[in-house]
Homo-oligomer: A and B are copies of this chain.
Amino acid sequence: MIANLPETELPRIVIIGAGFAGLKLARKLVRSQYQVVLIDKENYHAFQPLLYQVATAGLEPSSIAFPLRKLFQREKKIHIRIDEVLEVNATDKFITLKNIGRVNYDILVLAYGADTNFFGNENVKLNAIPMKSIPEALTLRNRILGDYEIALSITDYQSRQEYMDIVIVGGGPTGVEIAGALADMRKYILPKDYYELNKDEVDIYLIDSGNKLLSAFSEQSSENAEKALKAMGIKVLQNTIVKDYDGVQVFLSNNEIIRTRKLIWAAGVIAGKLDGMPDNIYGPRRRIIVDEFNAVKGMEGVYAIGDCAVMITEDSPNGDPQVAQVAMQQAVNLAKNLKAIRKNSILTPFKYKDLGIMATIGRKKAVAEIYGVKYSGFFAWLTWLFIHLISILGTKNKLVVFINWAIAYFTRDQSLRLILKAKSLKNSAN
C-alpha cells in the first residue's frame, strides 16, 4: 500500500507528532513553499499541562483536546494522517506507516515527544497509571471514582484502604499538581458525593527520589510548594525510591510497604525509538542529539524538535528542559529556517528564551517564577489560570474551561464525575 497523497512540485516535509512542537511547526508552514504531511497516532492535539484536571474530573477531555483537522480546514498543502510510524528509511528517504504504508519525504521532522520512563521496571509498567495522554488520564479518573464505589461496600478497614489511598510517584509539576487536585477532591467532593465514606481514611502520598520538590524551581518556590502540600494533608516522602509495585503493595527503598490499588507514575520521561534510525543519534534518556539548527547530526534533511530532541551547548550542557515552551520556540525557529532554505537565505541558530515556570498546588495556590520574579499563593494561582486559559486552542474550549473553572471556584464542586466505560471498536480496520 502507498499513501494516497497528491502529486506536487513542492518539496515534502513529513512531521511525526502533533504535540506542541509538531503542531506549531505545521501551523507556521501553512501556505509556505512546501507540501506538509503531519502524522500523529491521535486525531487531536492534547494540551498536556491540564491532563491532571481531566484525571481529577475537573475538565472534560474535549476541553483540552483539539481536533487537528479543524485547525487546517481547507489548507490544501497540509495533509493530516492518523497513523503509527513503523520505520524510517533514511537512505531512500521514506517512512513506513502501519495502515497507510510508504510516505516519501524530502525533509523529515521528528517531533514525537517523550514517553513515561518506568526505568526498566516491568511490574511498575504493568500496574502503575502513567499520566501522559488523555486515555491515561481517563483511566485514572475511572479508577479513582470506581474505587470509591467499591470502597463503599467493604466493611474491613484494611481492605478498604487499598481502594481509598493513592500513591503518586514523582515530585515534578505533574506529581505536585495531581497531589494538590486529589487533596482538594478529598476535602470538597468526597464528603458530599461519598458521605458514607470517611474522608480522613483517604491517604495521599507523594514520593520523590530527591530532596527537593519541583527541582527546576528555586529553593524558595520549592519550599513553598512543599509547605502548601503538607498543609493540605499530603504525605510527602522525599529521598525515597519506589523499588517495585505488584498492583497492591508499593515497595519503598526504606523497606516500608504502602498498600494501594492506585500508583500514579510521574517519575520521569524517556523518548521513544524509531526503527531504521542509526543508534548513535541518541543522547541521555534517548533524546536525539541535534545541532543549533535542530538538525540530526550525520543525517541529511532530518530534524528533531521538542521533548525528543536535545541540543547540547556551552550554556546548557544537559540541553534545554523538556517543556512546551522549548518545543514551541524550536518549532518557530525551524519553520523560519526551512523557509530560509527555500530562499537560499541565512539560517538562524536556536536560542531558548526562558519566560518562566509555574505549577499550581490546588485551589487558590500556586508557585510562579516569571522573568526571574518569584511569587506564590493566590496571585500566582491567578497567573497560572490566565496563562493556561489563553494557551488552550480554540475559543469554545477557552469558554468551556472558563465556565468549568468558574463553577468549580464558586461551588467547590463539579458535575463531571462520570465513569465512562468504553466499548471496544469492533469491525474497524485496525
Is A403 touching B399 in the complex (CB atoms < 8 A)?
yes
Q: How far is the CB of A51 from chain B (nearest CB, A)?
A: 13
Is A415 touching B66 in the complex (CB atoms < 8 A)?
yes
Taken residue by residue from 324 to 342, chain A's Cβ proximity to chain B (1 for < 8 Å, 0 otherwise) reads as 0000000000000000000
Q: Which residue among A43, A195, A425 has the maximum number of chain B CB atoms within 10 Å of its CB?
A: A43
Knowing A69-B193, A127-B426, A399-B403 touch, does A61 contact B420 (C-beta < 8 A)? yes
Contacts of A79 in B (CB 8 A): 196
Q: Does A418 contact B (CB under 8 A)?
A: yes
Tell me the nearest residue of chain B to A162, going by C-beta. B429
Report the contact-size class of chain A (Cβ under 8 Å from the partner): 35 or more
Report Cα–Cα, A6/B195, bound state, in Å.
Answer: 12
Q: Which of A87-95, A131-139, A198-206, A368-376 contacts B (4 or more CB under 8 A)?
A: A131-139
Contact of A153 among B4, B126, B150, B195 (CB under 8 A): B4
Is A82 touching B418 in the complex (CB atoms < 8 A)?
no
Q: Which of A140-148, A226-234, A352-360 contacts B (4 or more CB under 8 A)?
A: A140-148
Contact of A396 among B6, B145, B403 (CB under 8 A): B403
Q: How far is the CB of A419 from chain B (nearest CB, A)?
A: 5
Q: How far is the CB of A239 from chain B (nearest CB, A)?
A: 28
Q: How far is the CB of A258 from chain B (nearest CB, A)?
A: 15
Q: How far is the CB of A155 from chain B (nearest CB, A)?
A: 5
Q: Does A390 contact B (CB under 8 A)?
A: no
Is A67 touching B422 in the complex (CB atoms < 8 A)?
no
Contact of A416 among B62, B142, B143, B195 (CB under 8 A): B62
Taken residue by residue from 372 to 410, chain A's Cβ proximity to chain B (1 for < 8 Å, 0 otherwise) reads as 000000000000000000000010110110011001000
Q: Does A209 contact B (CB under 8 A)?
A: no
Report Cα–Cα, A196/B407, bound state, in Å.
Answer: 41
Is A192 touching B407 in the complex (CB atoms < 8 A)?
no
Q: Does A31 contact B (CB under 8 A)?
A: no
Q: Does A345 contact B (CB under 8 A)?
A: no
Query: Contact residues of A with B, CB < 8 Å?
Result: 1, 3-4, 6, 42-44, 60-62, 65-67, 69-70, 73-74, 76, 79, 81-82, 99-101, 126-127, 134-136, 138-139, 142-143, 145-147, 149-150, 152-155, 163, 192-196, 247, 261, 394, 396-397, 399-400, 403-404, 407, 413, 415-423, 425-430
> Knowing that A146-B430, A147-B428, A396-B404 are A-B contacts, what are 9 other residue pairs whose CB atoms are under 8 Å apart, sorted by A's residue number?
A4-B153, A43-B149, A70-B415, A81-B153, A127-B426, A134-B420, A135-B421, A146-B425, A163-B429
